[in-house]
Structure 1
Amino acid sequence: MSTPISSIRNLGPATEAAFARAGIHSAEEVRAMGADAAYLALMRAGTQPHFIGYYVLVMGLQGRPWNDCQGDEKKALRARFDALKAEAAPGPASRLDAELDALGVIPRRS
């Protein structure tokens, strides 16, 4: 039996729903992925990146209160978050393709 994602400290029903949209359905899956891979999956599934959401996840996986992140640790997490955000963002060609597709210029693949 799997454990709900909301059983992870600091995470609630909204985060659980976001993970479900990303195809992640248990706390065990989140723990196995780790904070970085799990948050990257959220962003790739359409969750808007937000630094607080990222470090809340990191703190929760460590069993710590969400507001326990400070100083140099917070700066290091910010650098990791920025790298994840850059990795998740579509490149210029992808954005162009997305816009052309939205306009119907690029035929949809079946």
Structure 2
Amino acid sequence: MTDSSPPPVSSIRNLGPASDASFARAGIASADALRELGADAAYARLLATGSRPHFIGYYALVMGLQGRPWNDCKGKEKDALRDRFDKIVAGARADESAAPIGIEATLNEIGTGLKR
């Protein structure tokens, strides 16, 4: 009998077991789903679910999806990735400042504050 489970996120180069939990919180449960989504969209989801921005983590993800070691990123390529990372982080921060909706808006109305 063979295991037909999709490969975990941690099966991607540079990503360890902690990545499985972080990406699962972001709704990305497998390496296949991560590859399909792509590095930028996946990283934006991580930020949206509370992960803190970390440039090395971002480019390790990008390199891993390319099958490359995390420290293979250098020079102009690294500079270009830094620009992409900064845009993803800026987008996530803009989303955080948007007006809350649903239960978040209700909780804010009754005075429980923004962070719970």
Report what 2:51 is aligned to.
Answer: 47
Q: TM-score, normalised by structure 1?
A: 0.84
Deviation per CA, 1:32-76, whole angstroms, max 9, x where unpaired?
000000100100011001101100000000000000000000000
Letter in 1 for 2:85: F
Question: Structure 1 residues 28 and 92 mapped into 2: Cα distance closer, same or farther (>3 Å)?
Answer: closer
Question: Structure 1 residues 103 and 67 mapped into 2: Cα distance closer, same or farther (>3 Å)?
Answer: farther
Question: Structure 1 residues 93 and 40 mapped into 2: Cα distance closer, same or farther (>3 Å)?
Answer: closer
Equivalent runs, 1:35-74 vs 2, <5 Å: 35-74=39-78
Identity %: 61
Matched, 1:104 2:108: no
d(CA) in 1 for partners of 2:19, 2:87: 21
Q: Which runs of 5+ in 2 are unaligned?
A: none
Report what 2:29 is aligned to.
Answer: 25
Question: Structure 1 residues 29 and 71 mapped into 2: Cα distance closer, same or farther (>3 Å)?
Answer: same
Letter in 2 for 1:104: G
Name the Cα RMSD after superposition.
Answer: 2.3
Question: How much has 1:16 moved relative to structure 2?
Answer: 1.2
Question: How much has 1:101 moved relative to structure 2?
Answer: 2.2
Deviation per CA, 1:2-33, whole angstroms, max 9, x where unpaired?
11110000000111110011111000000000
Task: Give SS of 1:52's match.
Answer: helix
